[in-house]
Amino acid sequence: MSTALQRDALLAPRAASEATEAAPASLKERVESVLATVFGLVFIGLAMLVTVETLSRKLFNVSLQGADELGGYALAVGSTIAFSLALMGRNHIRVDVFHERLPRRAQAFANWMAILSLAVFGVFIAYVAFKVLGDTLQYRSTAQTPWATPLIIPQSVWYAGLVIFALVACGYALRATRLLFGGGIDTLNRDFQPKSAKEELKEELDDLAHRQAEGGQP
C-alpha cells in the first residue's frame, strides 16, 4: 500500500503539469478553429461574389460594381486573421541563423524576446488603428466607389482582427514570461522556437497523407 502511495505521490506533479499544459493547448485549438473558419468563410464568400460578377458581365453585360471594393475589404480583414493564425502556428518568419548554435538558456531568452517584441508590435498597431478609426468617425469618411460605403464599417472589422492579434500575442508573451522565470526553459523552447526544416517537412508529409486518405488514394 505504501509503495502505491509513493508512486501516486511521484506521478501527481507530472499529471498536474500535463493538465496545465493541456489547458492552453485546448484553448489554442479552439481559437485557431474559429479564426480559420472565419478566414475560410470570408474568402469563400469573396470567390462566390467574383464568380457571380464574372458571369453577369459575360452573359448579361451587367456589373455588380462592388466586387473590387469587397475584395479589398476581404484582403484587409483576412490578413489580420492570418496574423493570429501564423502566430499560433509558429509560421512568422524569424532569422534563426545562430539560434540553434546558442545554449538552451540563450535560446529561451531569444524566444522570449521574439514573442515579447511581437506582442509590443501588436499592441502598437492596434493603437494606431484605433486612431485611424477615430479620424474616420470624425470626418465621416466614405469609400470613393459607386457604393460610397461608410469606411467605419469595414475598418471596424479590420480593427477587430488587429485587436485579436494583439490579445493573442500578449497572451503568448505572458505564457512565455511565466515559463522563462518559472524554470520551464525546455517548454519555452519547444513552444516558441522557430520551426525547423524537419518540422516543416513533417507537417507537409502529414498534410499530404491526410489529403490522400480523404481522397481515397492508395
Residue 99's nearest CA partner among 199, 194, 197, 192 is 194
d(CA 192, CA 177) in angstroms, rounded, equals 11
Query: Does residue 53 lie within any of the structural domains?
Result: yes
Place of cell 466586387: 67
Residue 185 falls inside a structural domain: yes
Let me know if residue 31 belongs to a domain.
yes
2-35 pLDDT, tens digit each: 444 444 444 444 444 444 455 566 888 888 899 9
Total number of domains in the chain: 1
Task: Tell me whether residue 121 is in a domain.
Answer: yes
The parent domain of residue 76 ranges over 27-92+100-197
pLDDT of residue 217: 52
In a domain, 22, yes or no: no
Over the chain, what is the mean pLDDT?
85
The reported pTM is 0.80
Which value, to the nearest 10 degrees, does the dihedral of the CA atoms of residues 193, 195, 197, 202 take? 120
203 within domain boundaries: no
Q: Measured between alpha carbons, how far is 160 from 81 in angstroms, rounded to an integer?
A: 9
Model confidence pLDDT, tens digit, residues 72-112: 999 999 999 999 999 998 888 887 788 888 999 999 999 99
Which carries the bigger pLDDT value, residue 162 or residue 14?
A: 162
What one-letter code names the amino acid at 73? Y
- Asked whether residue 19 is domain-assigned, the answer is no
Please check whether residue 151 lies inside any domain of the structure.
Answer: yes
